[in-house]
Structure 1
Amino acid sequence: MSSARERILEAAKAAFSERGFDGVSMEEIAQRAGVRKPLIYYYFPSKEVLFEEVWNRALEELENHIFKEVENENYYVRKIKRFLRAYIDFVTSRKVLSKVIEKERASVLDESGQGDVWKRLKRRYDDFLNRVAQLIEEGKKNELVNPEIDSQTAAKLITEALAASTTSGSVLKSIESFILSGLMGRTEP
């Protein structure tokens, strides 16, 4: 891969994390990357395609970080705790990537009148949410997660709560405890 291409991607990632997709121009990305604007278009035919590459890389890195942590864990309670801690670690240690996801999640999930690239972005995010939902389903099958919990809704709540949590460690620890008790607590009839 070209080092110019990687510089463009790094510059785009930083710019999108600071001001979001709509707040960034290709000219700004070119200046940050130290390249001429036509070179960006050589690698990426549009800002949407450039953002798609940044988005996909951010989600891939998030997935690698959190799911690698739990892949060899067989005991579900430890698995879900490791998942939550890995997610919190990602949010706190990889702030630029977390901000890219957080700033544009609502736009990606909004399906009103957006083109093919945005539909692919949404499908990619939905794939990520499905992996989180599968983890919750695993707990339901093991009778450790409340069977009344909708896995897709829980996955959305967990990811939004953790991704938006750029606060202190004690607040994140409280959010982790809240999520665990919500998943594993039983509701009385």
Structure 2
Amino acid sequence: MKNLSSAREKILEAAKAAFSEKGFDGVSMEEIAQRAGVRKALIYYYFPSKEVLFEEVWNRALEELENHIFREVEGESYYVRKIKMFLRAYIDFVTSRKVLSKVIEKERASVMDESGEGDVWKRLKRRYDAFLNRVAQLIEEGKKSELINPELDSQTTARLITEALVATASSGSAVQSIESFILSGLMGKTES
């Protein structure tokens, strides 16, 4: 039984790497099998379709992202410190876990596309929406504390922050500027 579970993990690791490099549409099950060193039939034993395999990779990537960034802010009661910790943890995730970040970055637009076909794509979108809702809750917390501009739409702000952090975190020198820019936009000024 251990060999089967390690084969499943090899498949997931190979799929994660392939999806991060080429995106969902650019990868075949045959390529994933070659990368994992298994027969394609074994992939289908665990995952009945490429969509289901991608769903597992996507869910794991988001779970790891959430654990990384929200674990950082748990227990912090001072909101300004909390939002700074959140931003830094998000940037740290994007810069230190590049493969997972690229999976999310490459496929976010496809997942968020309302015309996504099939139940798997709807579940992928619901999962990403759940993540965005957690970020929006953090924004709402700041609004309730009267530290965040009350006119900001929390959902839109959450989406903008996550997209900006992923898009710009590859430039290490800009990290401090990004954080200051986001804080300034949220609070109307830069907090130190």
TM-score bracket for this pair, using the shorter chain length? over 0.9
Letter in 2 for 1:163: V
Shift of 1:56: 0.1
Report runs of 4+ in structure 1 exceeding 4 Å deviation.
Answer: none
1:173 match? 176
Shift of 1:167: 2.5
Shift of 1:143: 0.3
Q: Which runs of no fewer than 5 residues in structure 1 stay unpaired?
A: none
1:97 match? 100
**Equivalent residue runs for 1:139-150 within 5 Å:** 139-150=142-153
2:139 match? 136
Match of 2:48 among 45, 48, 66: 45
Please tell me the root mean square deviation across aligned C-alpha atoms, in Å: 1.0
Q: Once the two structures are superposed, what CA deviation does each residue of 1:14-34 show, in whole Å capped at 9, x if it has no partner? A: 000000000000000000000
The yes-or-no answer on 1:76 pairing with 2:79 is: yes
Shift of 1:175: 1.0
Equivalent residues of 2:58, 2:104 under 8 A apart: yes
Count of aligned pairs between the two proteins: 186
1:115 match? 118
| Distance in 2 separating the partners of 1:38 and 1:138 | 48
Give TM-score scaled by structure 1 length: 0.96
**Equivalent residue runs for 1:4-19 within 5 Å:** 4-19=7-22
| Distance in 2 separating the partners of 1:20 and 1:101 | 10
1:184 match? 187
Shift of 1:148: 0.6
Q: Once the two structures are superposed, what CA deviation does each residue of 1:93-147 show, in whole Å capped at 9, x if it has no partner? A: 0000000000000000012151100000000000000000000000000000000
2:154 match? 151
The percent of aligned pairs where both chains have the same amino acid is: 87
Equivalent residues of 1:16, 1:24 under 8 A apart: yes
Q: Which runs of no fewer than 5 residues in structure 2 stay unpaired?
A: none
SS at match of 1:73: coil
Give TM-score scaled by structure 2 length: 0.95
